[in-house]
Structure 1
């Protein structure tokens, strides 16, 4: 059994309190320089990490264990893509493929929109959607914004809950 799986819900609740409304953990006990009642965790590339019994854990995985009493079967996905948003309503189980679909634009993306790229040979912005290892062509457009809007419209038609949409598309997106 891995050290991660060795942590139980009971042990977690002995050490930490989780607020499902805010997604934050606070310490129930004082340990070293950490005082009871203080916020638990540190930021690691957008994720909140919490060390328990010498093992580092992602806060969203601890939230799942705290609420559901079990470790997730596979991966966990942040619904709106905010790694630090650990409210239980914003976390869901996902396969690796589903989790990868809920990504934003890559850092090297020139359009600023996921799935939209410039076609210099044609002088147009192309919108595409990746699905099961294949690319679905949405269309070519005069502006990146038009391509983005068309891509979002197609994503909504596809009704894939794991596809990332702009934050304004979510009714419970954090401010």
Structure 2
């Protein structure tokens, strides 16, 4: 379905400034001009067209005349923000380097944890492997080690926010 851009453009319109999709035609109970989106269980916005869900962040690329990439990254980490300025084509690694802070993180900093040896420990992942970045007396030192690692390895500045 994603490949039939002309058909989708007959049904939907996309505003790249607001990131909103609207119906161009009446569609079931939805009237022309109404918002065309629903939040899926994974947190992304979708729309049903011909009994098949379409991801709106992927449709945005098609509506902007771009090739639909393998991965779309929401730069600010908000899965419902489909403004064109907030979307980018990304590899799996680039996408992973722009993740929000995990809900299980207790320090508030990605890649930093309290060690059982009464020290702060910094760590990172590179090439699919866990890397120990060292143990530190202060949280600030561990955070600095992790930030240095992130800047050396191309992490997005929004990573962990």
TM band (smaller chain): 0.7 to 0.9
Name the counterpart of 2:122. 127
Name the counterpart of 1:71. 68
**1:70-109 matches, cutoff 5 A:** 70-72=67-69, 74-109=70-105
* Deviation of the 1:98 alpha carbon: 2.6
* Deviation of the 1:84 alpha carbon: 0.9
* Deviation of the 1:15 alpha carbon: 0.9
- Residue 68 of structure 1 aligns to a residue whose secondary structure is coil
Name the counterpart of 2:29. 33
Q: 1:125 to 1:39 in 2, by over 3 A?
A: same
Q: Give the TM-score of the pair, scaled to structure 2.
A: 0.83
| Counterpart contact for 1:9–1:69, Cα < 8 Å | no
Name the counterpart of 1:47. 44
RMSD, matched Cα: 2.4
By percentage of residues, which structure has more helix?
A: 1
Structure 2: any 5+ residue segments left out of the alignment? none
| Counterpart contact for 1:105–1:115, Cα < 8 Å | no
- Residue 77 of structure 1 aligns to a residue whose secondary structure is strand
Matched positions, count: 160
Runs of 4+ in structure 1 off by over 6 angstroms are: none
Q: Give the TM-score of the pair, scaled to structure 1.
A: 0.77
- Residue 31 of structure 2 aligns to a residue whose secondary structure is coil
2 CA distance for matches of 1:81 and 1:21?
A: 17
Structure 1: any 5+ residue segments left out of the alignment? 168-175
